[in-house]
Each structure stands twice: as C-alpha cells, then as structure tokens.
Amino acid sequence: MTSKQPQPATSHHVVIVGAGFGGLETTHRLKGAPVRITLLDRRNHHLFQPLLYQVATASLATSEIAWPIRYLLRDRPEVTTLFAAVSGVDPVGKRVLLDDGDSVAYDTLVLATGARHAYFGHDEWEPFAPGLKTLEDATTLRRRILVAFERAERETDPLRRAALMTFVIIGAGPTGVELAGTIAELAKDTLPPDFRNIDTHSARVVLIEAGPRVLAGFPDDLSAYAQRSLESIGVEVVLGQAVTECSTDGVVYGGKTLQARTLIWAAGVRASSAAEWLGAPADRAFRLQVNPDLTVPGHSEIFAIGDTVTINGPDGKPIPGIAPAAKQQGRYVAETIKARLRGETLGPFRYKHAGSLAQIGKRKAVIDFGRFKLRGAIAWWIWGIAHIYFLIGLRHRLSVAISWLWIHARDQRAARLITQGSSKVGR
C-alpha cells in the first residue's frame, strides 16, 4: 500500500487534461520529476480505442479495454486524479476552467483532449449513424447490431426484414474496414445456429467510401488486398460515392436509397475544443496548430498534444492521428518540462512513424512498415500480438488473448449482451 506523502505547496504544478494515450504517457514520463501533477479527465477510465470496434461487435467486453485512471496511478503519490470536464482555459490567470464553475491553477498545462467523429456539417445524421469513440458509443452500436437481428427474427414482412439485416458502414478507413469485416463474420460465423426464423448468412454488410479505395492511408497493393478480403467474406464495398442523407430508413448515396436500419459512421474527425478555448490557430478539423516544440502559439507554458493538434512530420505531411504519435508527443512534452526545470531547452519534436496496421477479419490483416509490407495470416498474428502487448496489465492481456483464441477456435463471441437503452431498432 502506498503511503500518502504531502507535496511541497511550492513545487511546480503540471496540469494535464485528458488521460488518453498522450496525457497518460506525459504523466508516466514525468515520474521522478520535481513536480506535482493533476490529471483531469471527464471519464474515469483510460480507453484503448484501437479495440473499441471489438466491443461494438460483441467480441470483447468493455472491461477488457478500459482501466480506471485512478487505479493506473495508485502508486504515484504526486499525481492527483480528478474526474472533471474542462470547459475552458484562462491563460492570463493560469487556470483551467471546469464545466461546474470550479477551476484549477497550473504552472504548466498540457492539453491532450483528443478528437471525436465529425459529420461534415451534418450533425443531424448522428442519431441515425452513430460513430465510435467512447465505451458508450461501442455499447450503443453493439445494442443496435444485436437488436436488429433480434427484430429480424420476428419480422414477417420481407422488405422490413431485409432492412433490418442490412448494416451500412460509412467510411473505409481502418475503423470502417475493421467494423465491416467483423460484422460480416458475426453474421456468417457466429450467429447462424442461434436463430430459427432468419438465415443470418443473408445479412448484407455494405461499406461506403467517398474516396477511390479502402484504407486510403495504406499503399495501393495493401488497400486492394483489403478490399478483396472484405469481398471474400461477403462485404459489399462501394467506392467513390459520398453519402448525402442518413435517416431512420437508411442511407442515400449516388442518388440511390439503401434501406437499412443500422448505420455506423466511421468517416470524419473533429478535434476537441482546445484551440477554441485558447483562441489558437486551427485547421479545418479544428486541430490546434502547435509550435515545433508542441507549445501553443503565444503561450510557452501550455502544450497541446495528440489528436487535438496538427503538426507536420519529417515528410512534410501532417502527423497521423494515431496512438503512437500521441504517445511520442506525450513523452517529448514530459522531457521538455523536465529540461526546463533544469534550465535547459530541447530541440523540436520529431515524429518517428513505426508502421500502420489494420485488421480485416479472422486471419487477415495488413501491415505497412514502410520498407516492407505484410498481409494475410502473418500480418494478423503480428497485429494481434502488438495489440495484446500494448494493453495494460497481465490480466487484460490474458483475458483478451483468451477471448480471441475462443473466437478463433469456436467462432463464439461471448460479449453478445444487449444492455441499457431501448430495445427498438436504431435507438
């Protein structure tokens, strides 16, 4: 048991907003530094977002991919964890403002508040086509997918039944591809023996992408492989078609209406409000444009990192919004804070891209390590091992490994629970 050691009131106070990949890494890397840390998050858990789609598709349980933040920092007496939502920053008074009217003073501030999905000016589509960012989003999607099959089981009208058994995913980036592949496997491998009135093999999974190919961030050959793999498990891939309407009836693209009761949005990204809080420059996705040392222009004591910022990498292109980028930035900011306290300065942040991975289905994945590329079963094993490695703690690693082995061997997805919310389709 850790004993509580009061910190000197005069020690430098670092406030970190957001306990995602970036904020948590900053906190970890500040261990041993002569600072007090306050870590604020509006959720009480750190979430491993790369596996959220597995919760949405009933492959993993919520507790397998999330950890209470307080628990993760139980051995760090200098870190105070606060469950609070930030609604602004007062850079003159050096205070973080909370949505309940409270505020927290800082000497150095790190904003690591991430991003959410964006609907390209059509926020009214969100109720019909929810996105995937939080545990609540994942359980909402899981409920919608499972309820659609349940309702189809007792639907006698063939057209209504077909709409219930049509699942549309909008956006063919890694999340869209992973969702489409897993929903197809759920329908074709897991569910068939459990239903009496419907043949779940006949479920349609339609992946709609406005661009010319799936996994646009990957090289052409891996993207073509991903498309072939999706089609081989029954996913209908529609390319070069922008969605122009989402409603309870379905989706409109290319002037056609596709009747579907389950729509999932995996298309756009919008940064948190960090740039707005500071009146700082931002790009079209509201990502704060930071200085090369990740400070906010005009505020050398405020850093911003991860998905909520934009900065170019060594190739002159914006650094991708992925977990390793957020972690590298978190590590750099911690080192910069430590250097400043020693009276030193560090050079600019340099991003190193380790590779891109996406899973398509069972035993199918693509990996782009730059110099060499992998696809198929070997890529799938590497994808699985890498994800297990990056989970926190032995219990979670073992639990996820066992869940995956079970799916692999038996096609059973144990987390098929319909919880909370309405039993009506599309709610």
Task: Using CB under 6 A, list all residues that contact ligand FAD.
Answer: 17-23, 40-43, 49-50, 52-53, 85-86, 112-114, 132-133, 174-175, 272, 306-308, 321-324, 326
Give the shortest CB-111-to-ligand FAD separation in angstroms: 9
Helix (H, G, I), strand (E, B) or coil at 17: strand
Dihedral, CA of residue 9, residue 13, residue 18 and residue 24, to nearest 10: -90
Catalytic one of 178, 209, 245, 344: 178
Q: In terms of C-beta density within 10 A (0-12 exposed, 13-18 middle, 19 or more buried), how is residue 253 classed? A: buried
Q: Which two tokens stand for residue 71?
A: 């628990």
| Residue placing its CB nearer to ligand FAD in the complex, 152 or 322 | 322
Q: Could you give the C-alpha distances from 176 to 255, 268, 358, 417, in angstroms and in order?
A: 22, 11, 10, 22
- Please give the single-letter amino acid code of residue 114: G
d(CA 342, CA 34): 10
Closest CA to 18 of 138, 133, 110: 110
CB 52 within 8 A of CB 139: no
What is the smallest separation between the CB atom of 236 and ligand FAD, expressed in angstroms?
22
Complex with ligand FAD: residue 160 or 353, whichever CB lies closer: 353
Position 149: which residue type? Answer: F
The nearer residue to ligand FAD, 315 or 344, going by C-beta atoms, is 315
For 284, residues 6+ apart whose C-beta sits below 8 A from its C-beta are: none
Tokens of 114: 């991430």
> C-alpha angle 128/257/251, rounded to 5°?
20
Shortest-Cβ-distance residue relative to ligand FAD: 20
Least Cβ distance, residue 17 to ligand FAD (angstroms): 5
Supply the minimum distance, in Å, between the C-beta of residue 23 and ligand FAD. Answer: 6
Question: What is the CB-side half-sphere exposure of residue 346 using CA atoms within 13 A?
Answer: 19
Nearer to ligand FAD among residue 148 and residue 169 (C-beta): 169
Report, in Å, the least distance between residue 247 CB and ligand FAD. Answer: 24
Q: Is 178 a catalytic residue?
A: yes
Smaller CB separation from ligand FAD, 310 or 403: 310
Residues with a catalytic annotation lie at 178
